[in-house]
Structure 1
Amino acid sequence: MSPGSRIAVDAMGGDEGLAVMLAGVARARRQFDGMRFILVGDESAIRAGLETHPHLTAASDIVHAPEVVASDTKPSQALRRAKTTSMGVAIDLVKRGEAAAAVSSGNTGALMAMAKLSLRTMPGIDRPALAALMPSLGDTDTVMLDLGANTECDAQNLVQFAVMGAAYARTILDLESPRVALLNIGTEDMKGTDIVRDAAAQLRGASHLPLRFEGFIEGNRLSRGDVDVIVCDGFSGNIALKTAEGTARFVADLLRRAFQSSIRSKIGFLISRPATQLLRDHLDPNNHNGAVFLGLNGLVVKSHGGANEVGVAHAIAVAAKMVRDDLTRRITEDLSNFEAQAA
């Protein structure tokens, strides 16, 4: 991050409360020397919480916001209270240029609505997309988008998602030329809808961009590590993400049940504990936390509502990397190059 850059943190959002949010911010501060924060929320509560994190106090400013967006608040209701809630104030700090990015563990729908209304979409972007990291068998995680911001998309939307996702992968995963694929019901060129095939045709002609288009990928290979960026509409992406999360929990519960089924199984668990711990760490959502709204005139990161301090710190790290590498500029340049070549 450049000197003076600050990240606005919605200190009141999330299921675990202020204590976990502050612990996550403190952890991120220890990992990234020089990082500064604006903590948004109930000022008296934040000051009391900072007493257990004295090293964080000097690196933080506090902006008071009297209200909190509840987990069951409708986006339309949240928008009417944007100026008085910790979530809305954090986003407004980004809009005014007082913060380089905002991080919140609060209501996803409300955060999306506030961010879109306040920051607006970048020039050349029709719709913003929600991107996140998924664990894979490859050397790095896999970027997937859109994960729910747009239930219906046309070919141009998918192409824009691909360009944004590749720029994000270059920033977060430190990849020079990310491998990009479109989620489809088959890998053959004739498979899928007209929209998906049209998007693929456009991306095949984008050899001048810092990405490698690999064609189509099926749902059963999402976590194989075959590609770095997976692009789809928000309806398909949200279902794929929830299915992957459910499968991970199913496998973990199945292993737990199997290891508890007998004395021999319990002994086997003790022997294989290092391997099972590695599996648990790899699948732990806290180690992949931090979804991003790409395509806005500002950086907003959505931390999982149930994230622990490790997860919160990871989401803040995602924001810091985007600020450091000026992700918005990268996306703008790649889109301009794509449109110039297409013209």
Structure 2
Amino acid sequence: MVLAAAAVKQGVADACISAGNTGALMAAGLFVVGRMKGIKRPALAPTIPTTDGKGFVLLDAGANADAKPEHLLQFGMMGSAYVSAVEKITKPRVGLLNIGTESNKGTDLTKGAYVLLEQNTQINFVGNVEARDLLSGVADVVVTDGFTGNMVLKTIEGTAGSLMKMVKGAMTATPLSKLGALTMKKGVYQIKDMMDYSNYGGACLFGLAGTVVKAHGSSNAHAIETTVAQVIAMVEGNIIGKINESLEQSKKEEQINE
């Protein structure tokens, strides 16, 4: 990991991919590659499957347990730049994870973040989004603190796995259900593919001065192939440059408003 991060720092490599320990990769990214100028906190950003097959980027998913409103604003800017460049969405919808859609709902963190996100012209903020709507594709980018994001991520992963086991159990419970399973097999596999992490690439470590992506620990060959394609799109889309542009423009607007 350290050698890979060093290669990015030295310009020998355009990006670093690792399926190793997340904490170790984050440490290598921060201390070897270095943090991007102007970014206050890095963020771990995986792509989560949705029912329409497009997915959404969740950040932070565990890089920082605590966060401030300005951190969530930067998460929204970084996630928006990524989706715009890689997914080719002109104005990605950025949502703030909350317990209600009303602007006055939530904690001091979410209320403060709501104001900053709403005022920022660099992102297409669509307001608060609830956890129950995440998989329906309510937003292209969803921002939250790392503690909440990590729990959401693991809850979705666990639920998806449990549901597939329940469906398999129901389809093989009786001779009649096994017969019915033959007609449903294609549809069930389509659902399985839709929820398969290996089709969505790795989790980006945003906020670093270079491109670093964390592949799933249990990645197979297909998952690594998908992550490599994802990283190529990130490099060709100049993600680092676009995040820098967004930060600079936001800084100029803040100075004008002052």
* TM-score (ref. length: structure 2): 0.97
**Match of 2:215?**
303
Question: How many Å apart are 1:94 and its aligned residue?
Answer: 0.2
Name the stretch that deviates more: 167-176 or 235-244. 167-176
Give the aligned length.
Answer: 255
Alignment of 1:319 onto 2:231: yes
**Match of 2:89?**
175
- SS where residue 297 of structure 1 aligns? coil
Equivalents in 2 of 1:106, 1:286: separation in Å?
A: 15
Which of 127, 134, 137 is the matching residue for 1:225? 137
- SS where residue 301 of structure 1 aligns? strand
Superposition RMSD in Å: 1.0
Gaps of 5+ in 1: 1-86
For residues 171-197 of structure 1, give each alpha carbon's deviation from its aligned partner in whole angstroms, at most 9, with x where no partner exists. Answer: 221111100011111111111111211
- SS where residue 214 of structure 1 aligns? strand
Alignment of 1:160 onto 2:74: yes
Equivalents in 1 of 2:53, 2:182: separation in Å?
A: 28
Which of 206, 230, 249 is the matching residue for 2:120? 206
For residues 264-298 of structure 1, give each alpha carbon's deviation from its aligned partner in whole angstroms, at most 9, with x where no partner exists. Answer: 10011101111011011111111123111001111
Equivalents in 1 of 2:110, 2:5: separation in Å?
A: 33
State how 1:252-331 maps to structure 2 within 5 Å.
252-331=164-243
**Match of 1:125?**
39
Q: Which structure would you say has the larger Rg?
A: 1
Question: How many Å apart are 1:129 and its aligned residue?
Answer: 0.5
Q: Supply the AA of the counterpart residue of 2:57.
A: V
For residues 103-143 of structure 1, give each alpha carbon's deviation from its aligned partner in whole angstroms, at most 9, with x where no partner exists. Answer: 11111111111111112211110111010101112352101
Equivalents in 1 of 2:181, 2:201: separation in Å?
A: 28
Equivalents in 2 of 1:138, 1:194: separation in Å?
A: 33
Higher relative contact order (CA 8 A, sep 6+): 2
Equivalents in 1 of 2:65, 2:231: separation in Å?
A: 25
Does the CA contact (< 8 Å) of 1:141 and 1:173 recur in 2?
Answer: no
Equivalents in 2 of 1:139, 1:262: separation in Å?
A: 32
Equivalents in 1 of 2:144, 2:173: separation in Å?
A: 41
For residues 1-46 of structure 1, give each alpha carbon's deviation from its aligned partner in whole angstroms, at most 9, with x where no partner exists. Answer: xxxxxxxxxxxxxxxxxxxxxxxxxxxxxxxxxxxxxxxxxxxxxx
Equivalents in 2 of 1:229, 1:138: separation in Å?
A: 15
Runs of 4+ in 1 over 4 A off after TM superposition: none
* TM-score (ref. length: structure 1): 0.73
Q: Supply the AA of the counterpart residue of 1:111.
A: L
**Match of 2:155?**
243
Q: Percent identity over the alignment? A: 39
For residues 43-77 of structure 1, give each alpha carbon's deviation from its aligned partner in whole angstroms, at most 9, with x where no partner exists. Answer: xxxxxxxxxxxxxxxxxxxxxxxxxxxxxxxxxxx
Gaps of 5+ in 2: none
Does the CA contact (< 8 Å) of 1:140 and 1:173 recur in 2?
Answer: no
For residues 188-208 of structure 1, give each alpha carbon's deviation from its aligned partner in whole angstroms, at most 9, with x where no partner exists. Answer: 11111112111111111123x
Alignment of 1:107 onto 2:21: yes
